Structure 1
Amino acid sequence: MSSFSWLPTLNKEYGLEISPSAIRSFGDGHIHQTFLIETKSAKLILQRFNNLVFRFPERISQNHAILIDQIKSEELPYILPLPIPNLAGELFTFIDEAYFRISPFVSGKCVNEIENPHLAYLAAKAFALFIKAGIHIPASEFQEAIPGFHDLELRYNQLLEALKNTKRILSGELKELVEFYLGQKDLVDQYLSWKEKLPLRLTHSDTKINNLIFADDFSKVNAVIDLDTLMAGYVYYDFGDLVRTVACTEGEGSKDWEKINVDNAKYNALLEGFLEVGNGVFTEEEINSLSFGGLMMTCIMGFRFLADYLKGNIYYTIHYEEQNLHRAKNQMYLLKGLRELVK
């Protein structure tokens, strides 16, 4: 990659004259290779797309094209840095067996966690505004970027399959976790019930705090980023993922079990931000479903972490053998806290 052998073709496809000296690695993303292009006239983001994680780049390209064409961007107080078409009008450029894309650079700050509940409020408001700005677009137009990504029934069945085929010995801590997560079947039933009642919407589907660019002084959101997961979903998906990743007293990797619970101030700030946008826009049932979102998104990650441990840690990157087990245990404590909060 250091030779940028693909650069001459990239320049030709976009009508640019980028030199290797204008390109440097950028950010700490784990999926795509990301570079900052900095010339005298412009700053751009260049990505070499990871089609091992996202196996259907054509779906993502189509989803982005719909968004570029139809979203009411004038209603958004921030930027959506969607890909810039090449000279052929395509959002991806295929060079040397790899997909590349260029998008606008947005200045500001990304953070992986927050202490201030006001930032939680700003984050929730930003993601709710994204749903609102695309609420007029028929959700059926969007393709699944990652099939079954937020399907709780599917993830429960995958856990059952992993349990059936595991080579792990079911005792102690592992036995306790398996029994706990098998006991969450009522959430699967609630998920299936909500599917019957709720309309599908355009959702971001990966509403982590580091998928926002804040202003340097953290007074506002400058951009919503990482739009590869956008697809048809339920409003509570986006609220729930925020709850799981923002409103926990400890990070996902914490093993301070007694400290893991719901941060009520952040939870209430998330709810305030989402409702400020959603009241009068989302249906009454969508509003009522929000509290289920935190339960469901925490449970689904617990299912996935535990299933991966049972299968021998084949999906998530680990730094020690029991890490996925401990991630599942972390989510168990958060889920217990959320059940107490919303009962």
Structure 2
Amino acid sequence: MQYFPWLKPIQAAYQRSFSSVKPLGSGHIHQTFKISAGTDLFVLQEFNVKVFEHPERISFNQQLVLKGLIGKNLPFALPLPIPNREGQLFTAVNDSIFRLSPYVAGVCLDEVEQIQEARLAAEAFAGFIVACSSIDATLLQDTIPGFNNLELRFQQLKDAYANTQREVVGELKGLVDFYLGQESLVREYTGWIQRLPLRVTHNDTKINNLIFSSDRQRVEAVIDLDTIMAGYAFYDFGDLVRTVACTQPESSTNWEKIGVDRVKFEALWKGFLKGGKGVLTAEEIASLPFGGKMMTCIMGFRFLADYLNGNSYYKIHYEEQNLDRAKNHMLLLQALEDLNFHP
């Protein structure tokens, strides 16, 4: 077995003997390994504290969820970190921190290929909210402060516009005017959050944050649980709409092809209602279509603000990419406004 300087301390921390250690996946945030310990399989991650500056908050939230789910029979796995011998979810080795999680076999998808996959995805993410519904969401800590706060992101866009070094003319001026003209959407957001119950939400409901069975007939696990925070049901439904029901990826510049796949949208709707049955209130259900618009708008705010700030946050492959992403989301938001979906 290849030598890793952290191997012996990790084995001691979890009181296990590893028989093999192999690199897993191609993620860019955490260095990840598939671990064999006899017949048991695990995922070991070296946690990137440069991306997530508050691992203690992530650990706190995940501990809260672990305790809240004791005795519950979930329809999918939730591979939260395994406590070490000291009961901690992170293990420090020199200047690095690690965590060990159960390995779940299956298939990760980068995009929905069959309508059923959209329905199953929505059902699973709503099922996560239901599973955590007995947990007091007010106890959760913000792992990324203001992550889905539309008011905050709107103000950040205003600040970026006021301080930009770019010449705001032409297409850029049109995009700035469009997004600064979304006050009514921001007001609608504040109205909803004043009325809706605070939930434990996943907050990053992309299709590749699920593990499907090899035949894609069921969801085996909900993964990527670092963004578990307090939020609203429409956050998780909305990000599904943004990433699954759009006819083009978020960086696409095929402007004429950007729109809403209504069949996928309705599959997400049916799946989310099925997964949330008995827990989601009537008002929460009524808020879900707004979630698609809100999550599309908030990403438009963020992409445009980053462009105005000189592309300091999102990774880009060419100078205008964040501008193009903002235009992409403007077109999707307009398509969602025109969808005329009535539950």
TM-score normalised over the length of structure 1: 0.96
CA RMSD after TM alignment: 1.4
Question: Which of 244, 247, 260 is residue 246 of structure 1 equivalent to?
Answer: 244
| SS in structure 1 at match of 2:248 | coil
Q: CA deviation at 1:334?
A: 0.6
Letter in structure 2 aligned against 1:127: F
Tell me which of 103, 109, 112 is aligned to 1:111.
109
Residue 66 of structure 1: how far off its partner (Å): 1.2
Partner of 1:281: 279
Is this contact kept in 1: 2:237–2:291, CA < 8 A? yes
Q: What SS does structure 2 have at the residue aligned with 1:101?
A: strand
The residue aligned with 1:14 is 14
Contact 2:17 / 2:37 at 8 angstroms: preserved in 1?
Answer: no
Pair 73,191 (structure 1): closer, same or farther in 2 beyond 3 Å: farther
- Higher alpha-carbon deviation: 165-174 or 301-310: 165-174
Does the Cα contact within 8 Å between 2:203 and 2:228 map onto a contact in 1?
yes
- When residues 67 and 126 of structure 1 are mapped into structure 2, their CA distance, relative to the original with a 3 A threshold, is same
State how far apart, in whole Å, the 2-side matches of 1:280 and 1:45 are. 34
Match of 1:335 in 2: 333
CA positional deviation for 1:3: 5.4
CA 1:279–1:89 in structure 2 vs 1: closer, same or farther (change >3 Å)?
A: closer
Could you list the per-position Cα deviations for residues 51-108 of structure 1 after superposition, in whole angstroms to 9, with x for gaps in the alignment? 2222111111111111111126634211000111111111100112221000000000
Name the residue aligned to 1:187.
185
Instruction: Supply the AA of the counterpart residue of 2:16.
Output: L
Specify the alignment match of 2:82 in structure 1.
Answer: 84
Structure 2: which 5+ residue stretches go unaligned? none
Work out whether residues 18 and 38 of structure 2, in 8 Å CA contact, stay in contact via their aligned partners in 1. Answer: no
Q: Secondary structure of 1:216's partner?
A: coil
CA contact (8 A) 1:279 1:287 kept: no
Q: 2:313 aligns with which of 278, 294, 315?
A: 315
SS of corresponding position for 1:114: coil
- Aligned ranges 1:214-253 → 2 under 5 Å: 214-253=212-251
| Superposed displacement of residue 316, structure 1 | 0.5
1:115 Cα offset (Å): 2.4
Given residue 243 of structure 2, which amino acid in structure 1 is its aligned partner? T
Give the conservation status (yes or no) of the 8 Å contact 2:57–2:143. yes
Compute the displacement of 1:224 (Å): 0.2
| Cα 1:246/1:18, change in 2 over 3 Å | same
Decide whether the 8 Å contact of 1:47 with 1:100 is kept in 2.
yes
How many residue pairs match? The answer is 340
Deviation at 1:219, TM superposition (A): 0.5
Greater shift in the superposed pair: 137-146 or 3-12? 3-12
Q: Secondary structure at the match of 1:341?
A: coil
List per-residue Cα deviations over 1:8-37 (Å, max 9, x = no partner): 221221122236xx2222113232111111
Aligned to 2:5: 5
Letter in 1 for 2:317: H
- Tell whether the 8 Å contact from 1:213 to 1:222 is kept in structure 2 after alignment: yes
Structure 2 Cα separation of the partners of residues 151 and 73 of structure 1: 33
**What is the one-letter code of the residue matched to 2:188?**
Q
| Cα distance in 2 between the residues matched to 1:214 and 1:73 | 24
Q: After TM superposition, list the pairs within 5 Å mapping 1:11-160 onto structure 2.
A: 11-18=11-18, 22-71=20-69, 74-160=72-158
Structure 1 runs not aligned, ≥5 long: none
Q: Percent identity?
A: 57
Cα shift readout 1:285-306 (whole Å, capped 9, x = no counterpart): 1111001100000000000000
How far apart, CA to CA, are the structure 2 residues paired with 1:291 and 1:187? 13
Contact between 2:133 and 2:200, CA under 8 Å: does it hold in 1?
yes
C-alpha distance 234-71 of structure 1, shift in aligned 2 (>3 A)? same
CA contact (8 A) 2:32 2:46 kept: yes
Do the aligned residues in 1 keep the contact of 2:211 with 2:222 (CA within 8 Å)?
A: yes
Q: For 1:275 and 1:12, locate their aligned partners in 2 and report how far apart those are by CA, in whole Å.
A: 45
The alpha carbon displacement at 1:248 in A equals: 0.5
Find the residue that maps to 2:339 and give its secondary structure.
helix
Q: TM-score, normalised by structure 2?
A: 0.96
- 1:265 lines up with 2:263 in the alignment: yes
Shift of the 163–3 alpha-carbon distance from structure 1 to 2, 3 Å rule, reads farther
**Residues 159 and 96 (structure 1), Cα distance of their counterparts in 2 relative to 1, 3 Å cut:** same
User: 1:192 Cα deviation (Å)?
Assistant: 0.8
Instruction: Check conservation: 1:278, 1:287, Cα contact below 8 A.
Output: no
Q: Matched residues in 2 for 1:144 and 1:71: separation?
A: 20
Distance (whole Å) between structure 2 residues aligned to residue 3 and residue 319 of structure 1: 35
